[in-house]
Structure 1
Amino acid sequence: MNMYSELKKQHQNEVNKFPFIFAFSNKQLAEGMAKLGLKEDETKKLISIGNGGFIRKTDKEAFNEMFNRHEEELKNAIDEDSTGESFIYQMFDYELNNHEYCITYEIDDTLDALGLTIDEINNNDKLLHGLRKAIGNQKSCF
């Protein structure tokens, strides 16, 4: 079982259940607002989350708390891996694959996805060990 993958699935399920909409036209906005229980003239009750996404202003705190908790759960899982051999390795392996390391041989997208910097990794033995192990286990895409 990949602990990192399971945590990502758990977080994605929670995000999917959160009441938000995406709208790129007035029609989509009206339809989305109805799904949120708002009338077309209640646009002041919405707040943008960027990229065409909107939530109710009343849900802003819950939205922020959810993402802060997700970040904290990831941090705790990393902290609990004392060697870099389990969760940390699985995390890097998953994201390296997800960002096509086997083609690009670049880790920037992987680090961005994890909110980590190269300095953080170089200053943390278990992160460095997990990353090196994951890179070493990458298989050719061809």
Structure 2
Amino acid sequence: MNQYQKLRDRQQQEFNALPLGFAFSDKQFREVMQAWGLDPEKDTDKIFSIGYGGFIQKKDAELLHTTTARHEEELAAAIAADQTGDGFICDMFRYELDNHEYSYTMDPSDTLDALGYTAEEINADQRLLHGLEKACKAILQSA
């Protein structure tokens, strides 16, 4: 299995296990608050929004922050450990290129955006450039 996908899948499972609530209507908000044992009218000071309809209790905020920070560190470490771009980096680009329909569009810009890279950053790092080129070639050969 793709090394990047393994990391992302594990991290997604950990994120999904966080005590988050999602609400896209007043009814759903009340349900989330009640599931947490909070009064939806009086206890809004005990929660905060994480955006996109997500909420977390303030008491769990540190868990959210440490988990997301650890995930970012794990990704950065895996990228740094790939000295050539042939391993994790190539897997990362391959997964995201597939996810952003590179074989159809032939445009890697959505992939770079999703990963937080600019073309200049890719071109400035031989490992990233090599991994991207290798992933693009592999996708085109398999299409």
Determine if the TM-score, normalized by the shorter chain, exceeds 0.5. yes
Percent identity of paired positions between Structure 1 and Structure 2: 50
Shift of the 101–44 alpha-carbon distance from structure 1 to 2, 3 Å rule, reads same
Q: How far off is 1:114 after superposition?
A: 1.3
Look up the match of 2:36: 36
Counterparts of 2:53 and 2:127, CA distance in 1 = 38
* Structure 1 residue 64 displacement after superposition: 1.6
- Tell me by how many angstroms 1:131 deviates: 0.1
Asked if 1:27 is matched to 2:5, the reply is: no
Aligned residues: 142
The residue number in structure 2 matching 1:115 is 116
CA RMSD after TM alignment: 1.6
Residue type of the alignment partner of 2:72: E
Residue-by-residue CA offset, 1:17-71 (whole Å, 9 max, x unaligned): 0011111111100111122332222111110111111111122222122111111
Please show how residues 97-136 of structure 1 align to structure 2 within 5 Å. Answer: 97-136=98-137
| Structure 2 counterpart of 1:66 | 67
Amino acid corresponding to residue 27 of structure 1 in structure 2: K
CA shift at 1:140, angstroms? 7.5
For 2:23, the aligned partner's letter is A
**Distance in 1, Cα, partners of 2:128 & 2:36:** 41
How does the TM-score come out when normalised to structure 2?
A: 0.92
1:141: how far off? Answer: 8.9
1:16 partner amino acid: N
Q: Relative to structure 1, is the Cα distance of residues 38 and 141 closer, same or farther in structure 2, using a 3 angstrom cutoff?
A: farther
**TM-score, normalised by the number of residues in structure 1:** 0.93
2:13 maps to amino acid: N
Q: Which runs of 5+ in 2 are unaligned?
A: none
2:139 is paired with a residue of what secondary structure? coil
Structure 1: unaligned runs, 5 residues or longer = none
Change (3 A) 1:113 1:37: farther
| In structure 2, distance between residues paired with 1:43 and 1:58 | 13
Native 8 Å contact 1:20 1:36 kept in 2: no
Equivalent residue letter for 1:25: S
Give the 4+ runs in structure 1 shifted more than 6 A.
none
Secondary structure at the aligned position of 1:137 is classed as helix
Aligned equivalents of 1:127 and 1:141: distance in 2? Answer: 21
Q: What is the CA–CA distance in structure 1 between the aligned matches of 2:55 and 2:48, rounded to whole Å?
A: 6
